[in-house]
């Protein structure tokens, strides 16, 4: 699996999610088997380029693997500038967001709203490719199947994006109209794969090793991208890799291992965001991991009232220490295909 000149270790990717896939989380998922991880979307608005949020989203200090930055916007030239800034900051791949269904993004006609305006979408692709090509940085595109059930234009847009120089496509199997409701469909993903020569990545409702294999078989896609299921279960990537290689399900992780990983992740989280923001953003990650575990709801309530990182870290350490006395391994995985965790984002 390659993107431009970059070789990837496998074809099981972490999807970009605003408020979730910051550098510490990407690092954790890569450590647990993700072959590729894309940053949270970075705005192309020039008046927001110097904000703290943008600076943190573009911090790649010590990040391993291929560094991919997703940019979002509606103005071709502003998107070209955003691509150059991302490259100056260390991006090795620039990803264009035409898949986000969030109202605050689509309200400005960015994200998946661009699929309604193919000429503008193509202008943005061309501008970003032209800005990135002199640096040898490949451009990728993430989109949906279309704007609505009556307007599924992913295949047409995929062909034009390939002609314009995009080197990989990711297709989420829902329309913008669906948001995250209903079931993802993969026929359109398969149609996109059949229509282009560049790699195609399937995304949407992939929440188990079995589902990853089924989607790869149904679509012929080159890779799968996992989003919401990884939020509470970052080890899903090694589970998928093991199942694809052996046909056997990997045993759930040891409680002691999860404790070590989560506590180390919290330290990385606090180091990036500082005390105030770090504690608040960490609540979402902790809550997602423990929500299906015995005593998880009580811990979620407890940490929501904690304001200091040292106390939050200690509460999590105590929780896993007590859990370890009850069991060696986590229970068999549940299906984490809910929007609830993302909706708790600060």
Task: State mean pLDDT over 181-199.
Answer: 95
Selected residue with higher pLDDT from 235 and 50: 235
| pLDDT at residue 264 greater than cutoff 80 | yes
Provide the pairing of β-strand 200-203 with 223-226. Answer: parallel
For residues 86 and 141, membership in a common domain is answered with yes
Q: 80-119 burial, b for 16+ CB within 10 Å, e for fewer?
A: bbbbbbbbeeebbbbbbbbbbbeeebbeeebbbbbbbeee
Can you give the pLDDT at residue 97?
A: 92
pLDDT digits (tens, 9 = 90+) for 163-182: 999 999 999 999 877 777 88
Residue 342 lies in a domain: no
Q: Are residues 43 and 187 in the same domain?
A: yes
Say which residue, 102 or 1, is predicted with more confidence: 1
Residues 326 and 202 in one domain: no
CATH code for position 162 = 3.20.20.70
The domain boundary, picked from 211, 246, 281, lies at 246
Q: Cα-flanking dihedrals φ and ψ of residue 206, to 5°?
A: -90, 100
Q: Is residue 336 part of a domain?
A: no
Domain count, the chain: 2
Same domain, 78 and 50: yes
CA 117 – CA 227 distance, rounded (Å): 26
State whether 106 and 166 are in the same domain: yes
Is 277 contained in some domain? yes
Nearest to 263 by CA among 224, 289, 238, 225: 289
Question: Is 140's pLDDT higher than 50?
Answer: yes
Confirm whether 340 is domain-assigned: no
Q: Average pLDDT, stretch 131-136?
A: 97
Same domain? For 229 and 270 the reply is no
Return the bridge partners of 38, or none.
Answer: 68
46 and 192 housed in the same domain: yes
Question: How many residues are present in the chain?
Answer: 346
Domain span holding position 271: 255-330
Separation between Cα atoms, residue 193 and residue 343, nearest integer Å: 32
Q: Active-site residue numbers?
A: 100
DSSP 139-179: EEEEEEEESBTTB--HHHHHHHHHHHT--EEEEEEEETTTT
Residue 339 counted as domain residue = no
Say how far apart CA 174 and CA 179 lie, in whole Å.
Answer: 7
**Residue where a domain terminates, one of 224, 246, 268:** 246
Look at residue 175 and tell me if it is in a domain: yes
Answer whether residue 346 is part of any domain.
Answer: no
Say if residue 269 is in the same domain as residue 219.
Answer: no
- 156 and 292 fall within a common domain: no
Task: Supply 41's token pair.
Answer: 């979307």
Beta bridge partners of 4: none
Question: What's the mean per-residue pLDDT of the chain?
Answer: 89
Residue 292: inside a domain: yes
Q: 193, 216 in Cβ contact below 8 A? A: no
Residues 261 and 242 in one domain: no
Quick one: 139 and 49 in the same domain? yes
What's the DSSP call for residue 184?
Answer: -
Same domain as 226, residue 101: yes
């Amino acid at each position: 699996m390659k993107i431009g000149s970059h070789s990837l270790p496998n074809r099981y990717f972490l999807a970009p999610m605003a408020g979730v896939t910051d550098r510490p989380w990407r690092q954790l998922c890569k450590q647990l088997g993700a072959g590729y991880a894309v940053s949270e979307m970075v705005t192309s608005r020039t008046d927001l380029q110097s904000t703290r949020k943008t600076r943190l989203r573009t911090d790649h200090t010590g990040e391993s693997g291929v560094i991919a930055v997703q940019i979002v916007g509606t103005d071709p030239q502003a998107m070209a500038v955003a691509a150059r800034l991302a490259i100056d900051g260390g991006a090795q791949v620039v990803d264009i967001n035409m898949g986000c269904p969030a109202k605050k993004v689509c309200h400005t006609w960015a994200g998946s709203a661009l699929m309604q305006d193919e000429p503008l979408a193509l202008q943005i692709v061309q501008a970003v490719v032209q800005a990135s090509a002199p640096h040898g940085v490949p451009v990728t595109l993430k989109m949906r199947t279309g704007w609505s059930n009556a307007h599924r234009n992913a295949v047409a847009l995929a062909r034009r994006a390939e002609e314009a120089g995009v080197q990989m496509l990711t297709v989420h199997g829902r329309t913008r109209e669906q948001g995250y409701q209903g079931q993802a469909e993969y026929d359109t993903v398969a149609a996109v794969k059949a229509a282009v020569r560049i790699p195609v990545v399937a995304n949407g409702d992939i929440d188990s090793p079995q589902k990853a294999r089924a989607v790869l078989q149904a679509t012929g896609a080159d890779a799968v991208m996992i989003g919401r299921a990884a939020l509470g279960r970052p080890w899903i990537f090694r589970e998928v890799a093991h199942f694809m290689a052996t046909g056997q399900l990997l045993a759930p992780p040891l409680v002691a291992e999860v404790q070590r990983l989560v506590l180390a992740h919290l330290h990385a989280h606090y180091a990036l965001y500082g005390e105030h923001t770090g504690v608040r953003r960490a609540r979402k990650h902790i809550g997602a991991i423990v929500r299906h575990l015995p005593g998880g709801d009580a811990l979620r309530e407890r940490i929501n009232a904690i304001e200091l990182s040292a106390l939050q870290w200690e509460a999590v350490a105590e929780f896993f220490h007590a859990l370890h006395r009850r069991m060696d391994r986590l229970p068999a995985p549940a299906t984490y295909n809910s929007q609830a965790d993302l909706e708790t984002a600060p």
